[in-house]
Chain A
Amino acid sequence: MKPVIGQNIQRVDGQEKVTGKAIYTGDLKLPGLVDGKVLRSPLAHALIRRIDARKAESIPGVLAVLTRENCQVATPYFGAMIKDQPIVALEKVRYAGDIVAAVVATEEEIAEEALKRIEVDYDELPTLLTIEEALRDDAPLIHDKLQRVRVPEYGRGATYHLHENSNICHHFRYQRGDGEKALDRADFVFEDTFVFPSAQHYSMEPNISVASLEGSNLTIWSPTQAPFSLRQQVSRVFGLPLSRIRVIVPHVGGGYGGGKGVLTSILAVALSRLVRRPVRIAFTADENFKTISQPRAKLTIKTGVKKDGTFIARRCEVYLNGGAYVNSTPSVAEKAGYRMHGPYRIPHVLTDAYAVYTNCVPTGAFRGFGGPQAAFAYESHLDMIAHRMKIDAVELRMKNLLDKGEEFAPGDTPIDCDLKGALKWLAETIEWGKKDFSPKDPRIKRGKGIACGVKDGGGTAKSANAMVKILIDGSVLLSFGSVEIGQGVRTALLQVVAQELSIAPERIQVAELDTQYTPFDQATNASSATSITGQAVQRAARDAREQLLSAAASVLGTQRSGLSLEDGVIISQGRSLTFQEVMRQYFDDTEPEIVGKGFFKFPRDDRIPLGSPSPFWEIGFGATEVEVDELTGGVKILKYVSVTDAGKMIHPLQCRGQDEGAVLFGIGQALFEELVYKETRLINPNLVDYRLPRFRDLPQSFSTHILEEGGGPGPYGAKGMGEGGILAVAPAVCNAVHNAIGVRIQEVPLKGERVWKAAVRNP
């Protein structure tokens, strides 16, 4: 049989998706389904003095109004790491857009009218929109008391610090060597501060959930990336046993870390309990913008350098504007902090990373998970050091880059690919050092930039299960809990099973994801599906194969060792048997299944800073050539080359799709994506005012180069690669802008106005 791994087999969800037959949550039709609508606070920080829903309730067609007055649940607060967010506002509202009430009516128009009749009296409180405001000594507390789901258990070098009576909700510290003190031994010390924007995931499919409670059995349909953790959160809020909660994940219209489905599911369940009918909560685009965002980051780096350019020490401070509710942002702070020294050999490091409550839109995970913020800071900073020391920026990187096999941090997984080789290739490809003066218009300047990002990929101490069933007719059913969010996980993991069982991919079916039947999987995030769930799948396939071959040995009265699988049949000394023949004989003509199981988990290890090894290193190196219009400040990316390492590509086309898609996310944040507040209100919560990357933003020349260095923990050496592509974009573009016009910009996005102002200030 020709190998399946590395082949671009047809993606399993392709046909459904191109014919419009793929069913997403919003396409579900259930008898009695009604829509719920929510009332949002116009104020960013206020006590709720009074709330009266009687007028709304009296409108014909209104089935229920949910407010704090009738929100009877086991625990009204939920959250991924800190239970900070109520289902509906209780004593106060914490951002403009906070949910105060929800209505279900027989028709959407009636529900919307009912929302207008809910009377709410507020007592305004001072608002804190920036990190600086939230950290002032006299700042009011946005949350009076907090219940942490768990306090992180870090390993060597990393510590967690609790701040009582503060808006700081998470403080991660990482130290190695002599930390900050070693800066004294440097010949030069450079310090720079950077700002990275708050952005919106904008998956094309909005936040949506459908919940149906029948008796004491609850079913939720939702495009969540984490069905099992959603089940857990719903269980805690409503006091239901996990076994009575069933989460079904239909097709998902994009994820990117947006925590889609959590809030909508909890609201839908709360309303479904009141009306005893299936309830759908579907947010509008405006509401999506006000649900979750990437935290705005302020990052300061101080690096001590020897005369020859060798880095010796680094001190970093990272502040994330966590908004009103923080979801996974504490983890984002931790990861951004841990990654601040980048792919460089720096013996002495001290980093403090904080997540801070403010009255902005809630925040959480976002593709890259702190990596793009950190890489923007350390790669811009590196170029600034190179410029000040008059050292070539590529040479300075070469001097300090970690070698393959060298530890990223003491105790953690060694670097698993050739970073210097990747940089060298990139510099050659972009023709580093060769300046292009071809534009005839004197106000157009060209420049080149490079950046090298890494992030720990695959999450921390994640676990996954999988199940491979061989059915009596020789077809195979594969079941796992990683969510198909477009990345192609269902196709790639099917390929793993085809390879392990030596059968044609067409014989395998991937089961739908339903927590009632699908074995547990932690979540589809951190580029972990291929590398973590993939290992569980590979183990399940091998378990099924061993059971099948043992059965064959028993049927044939021969040794297991003499048997093998080839081209979909069992081979024994030149004789071939079908799966069906073996299974029928072995199981006495009943119609059984062989059930192969696989489990994988990275172990805890206190010798490692984050308490468990980084599964692999996700590489995001990039080189770019830009054009800057000095008159308007407009920046155009002419060329972008991305380098990443897949370890081993299971499905090369999908790998390329992941990297190119990630680069476009990077381009969006480098050039125009940013949530903008005026006073306390988010003023661009729509696609007219919030600019997403579109076809016209494609660089004239855009390519990705995917290495296969085989160093990943996944099947056949595979690593994850869903996020790497973003890492280098913003710093490479800023470095190129500096190369073009000699102006350094330390805050993205590079809107024309920002570039123009900076250029005028520093001519």
Chain B
Amino acid sequence: MPQESRFEGDSRMNQLLLPIRFRMNGQECRAEVKSNELLVDFIRNHLGLTGTKRSCDMEICGTCTVLLNGEAVSSCGMFAFELNGKELLTIEGLARNDGLHPLQESFVECGGLQCGFCTPGMILLAKALLDENPNPTWKEIQEYMDTNFCRCTGYQMIIESILEAAKKMREAS
């Protein structure tokens, strides 16, 4: 039966494991990943980093945003093996030894979060923005952040959180 053989074929594909090396939140890592495994599932299920959330599964909402070599990507739209040779930053790796990252502090202080489900992705996207542009205008933040959705806050307080974090970071440096 063709249906059956297709299923078995898929099963074998699942078993095809690819060795990868990468840096995860500053640590050297090696893993074997299924060839068809999505990056978001690898991060959540194998690395156990459940701060990365999934929502739309179509690379639209930005909830699953992580940074790969400093660039914000939707982890639901990539395979785990694409991590090979790259540096991964998830929300769990953002806080430093001496405390929260200024973005994390300001999201709490300025009302940049409510239910918190979009927050990890939102903060990581904001980090990518501030790495590129440490002194963004309100309008620049609005345009840069447009790829990530929040259903709670009404967005304005997220923009204010990022402005505040940028100010703190400029003052500290």
**Which residues of A are in contact with B by a Cβ distance under 8 Å?**
10-11, 13-24, 26-27, 109, 113, 116, 202-206, 251-256, 284-285, 485-488, 653-654, 656-657, 659-665, 686-688, 692-696, 698, 702
Q: Would you call A204 and B53 a contact (CB within 8 A)?
A: yes
Q: Would you call A698 and B111 a contact (CB within 8 A)?
A: no
Q: Which 10 A-B pairs have the closest CB atoms?
A: A20-B51, A253-B117, A486-B115, A660-B154, A17-B116, A486-B114, A14-B108, A20-B91, A27-B50, A18-B104
Chain A residues within an 8 Å CB radius of B105: 18
Q: Would you call A20 and B50 a contact (CB within 8 A)?
A: yes
A687–B120 CA distance with the chains assembled, in angstroms: 20
Q: Would you call B58 and A686 a contact (CB within 8 A)?
A: yes
Beyond A20-B51, A486-B115, A695-B146, whether A657 also contacts B152 by CB under 8 A is yes
Beyond A18-B123, A116-B3, A486-B114, whether A203 also contacts B153 by CB under 8 A is no
In the complex, 8 of the A-B residue pairs with CB atoms within 8 angstroms, ordered by the A residue number, are A17-B116, A17-B119, A18-B108, A203-B115, A285-B55, A661-B153, A688-B60, A698-B154
Q: Pick the contact of A687: B53, B60, B152 (CB < 8 A).
A: B60
Q: Would you call B100 and A656 a contact (CB within 8 A)?
A: no
Q: A26 CB to closest chain B CB, in angstroms?
A: 8
Residue B49 CB within 8 A of the other chain: yes
Chain A residues within an 8 Å CB radius of B159: 695, 698
Chain B residues within an 8 Å CB radius of A109: 10-11, 14
A297–B155 CA distance with the chains assembled, in angstroms: 28
Chain B residues within an 8 Å CB radius of A653: 110-111, 157
Residue B151 CB within 8 A of the other chain: yes
Q: Pick the contact of B113: A17, A27, A698 (CB < 8 A).
A: A17
Residue B145 CB within 8 A of the other chain: yes
Q: Which of B87-109 contact A (CB under 8 A)?
A: 90-92, 94-95, 100, 103-105, 107-109
Residue B63 CB within 8 A of the other chain: yes
A692–B55 CA distance with the chains assembled, in angstroms: 13
Name the CB-closest residue of B to A664: B154
Q: B133 CB to closest chain A CB, in angstroms?
A: 16
For the complex, count residues of B whose C-beta is within 8 A of A: 57
Q: Which of B6-26 contact A (CB under 8 A)?
A: 7, 10-11, 14
Residue B52 CB within 8 A of the other chain: yes
Residue B72 CB within 8 A of the other chain: no
Q: Pick the contact of A695: B49, B54, B104, B142 (CB < 8 A).
A: B142
Q: Would you call A657 and B153 a contact (CB within 8 A)?
A: yes
Q: Would you call B152 and A486 a contact (CB within 8 A)?
A: yes
Q: B62 CB to closest chain A CB, in angstroms?
A: 9
A15–B92 CA distance with the chains assembled, in angstroms: 12
A131–B57 CA distance with the chains assembled, in angstroms: 33
Known contacts A19-B100, A204-B53, A204-B63, then 20 further A-B pairs from the complex at CB < 8 Å, ordered by chain A residue: A13-B116, A15-B108, A16-B116, A18-B113, A18-B119, A20-B120, A27-B44, A253-B53, A254-B115, A255-B115, A256-B151, A486-B115, A656-B111, A661-B114, A662-B154, A686-B58, A694-B146, A695-B143, A695-B146, A695-B155
Name the CB-closest residue of B to A661: B154
Q: A638 CB to closest chain B CB, in angstroms?
A: 14
Chain A residues within an 8 Å CB radius of B61: 204, 687, 692
Residue B163 CB within 8 A of the other chain: no
A252–B116 CA distance with the chains assembled, in angstroms: 8
Name the CB-closest residue of A to B157: A657
A22–B123 CA distance with the chains assembled, in angstroms: 15
Residue B149 CB within 8 A of the other chain: yes
Q: In the complex, how many residue pairs between chain A and chain B have their CB atoms under 8 Å apart?
A: 166
Q: A490 CB to closest chain B CB, in angstroms?
A: 12
Q: Would you call A696 and B56 a contact (CB within 8 A)?
A: no
A16–B150 CA distance with the chains assembled, in angstroms: 18
Chain B residues within an 8 Å CB radius of A113: 7
Chain B residues within an 8 Å CB radius of A116: 3
Residue B80 CB within 8 A of the other chain: no
Chain B residues within an 8 Å CB radius of A27: 44, 50
Name the CB-closest residue of B to A256: B151
A657–B120 CA distance with the chains assembled, in angstroms: 18
Residue B156 CB within 8 A of the other chain: yes
Q: Would you call A15 and B55 a contact (CB within 8 A)?
A: no
Name the CB-closest residue of B to A286: B57
Residue B67 CB within 8 A of the other chain: no
Residue B33 CB within 8 A of the other chain: no
Chain B residues within an 8 Å CB radius of A694: 146, 149, 155
Name the CB-closest residue of A to B124: A20
A402–B120 CA distance with the chains assembled, in angstroms: 45
Chain B residues within an 8 Å CB radius of A255: 115
Q: Would you call B157 and A660 a contact (CB within 8 A)?
A: yes
Beyond A20-B92, A203-B151, A253-B117, whether A285 also contacts B7 by CB under 8 A is no
Q: Would you call B51 and A19 a contact (CB within 8 A)?
A: yes
Residue B166 CB within 8 A of the other chain: no
Chain A residues within an 8 Å CB radius of B3: 116
Q: Would you call A696 and B115 a contact (CB within 8 A)?
A: no
Residue B39 CB within 8 A of the other chain: no
A510–B156 CA distance with the chains assembled, in angstroms: 28
Chain A residues within an 8 Å CB radius of B148: 695
Q: Pick the contact of A22: B108, B116, B143, B146 (CB < 8 A).
A: B116
A663–B151 CA distance with the chains assembled, in angstroms: 11
Q: Pick the contact of A692: B49, B117, B149, B154 (CB < 8 A).
A: B149
Chain B residues within an 8 Å CB radius of A19: 51, 91-92, 94-95, 100, 104
Q: B72 CB to closest chain A CB, in angstroms?
A: 14
Name the CB-closest residue of A to B109: A10
Q: Pick the contact of B116: A253, A661, A693 (CB < 8 A).
A: A253
Residue of A16, A204, A254, A662 most packed against chain B (CB within 10 A): A204
Q: A280 CB to closest chain B CB, in angstroms?
A: 12
A713–B158 CA distance with the chains assembled, in angstroms: 31
Chain A residues within an 8 Å CB radius of B143: 695-696
Chain B residues within an 8 Å CB radius of A10: 108-109
Name the CB-closest residue of B to A27: B50
Q: Would you call B114 and A487 a contact (CB within 8 A)?
A: yes
A482–B59 CA distance with the chains assembled, in angstroms: 33
Beyond A486-B152, A695-B145, whether A285 also contacts B56 by CB under 8 A is yes
Q: A62 CB to closest chain B CB, in angstroms?
A: 12
Q: Which of B119-173 contact A (CB under 8 A)?
A: 119-120, 123, 142-143, 145-146, 148-157, 159
A663–B100 CA distance with the chains assembled, in angstroms: 31
Name the CB-closest residue of A to B121: A204
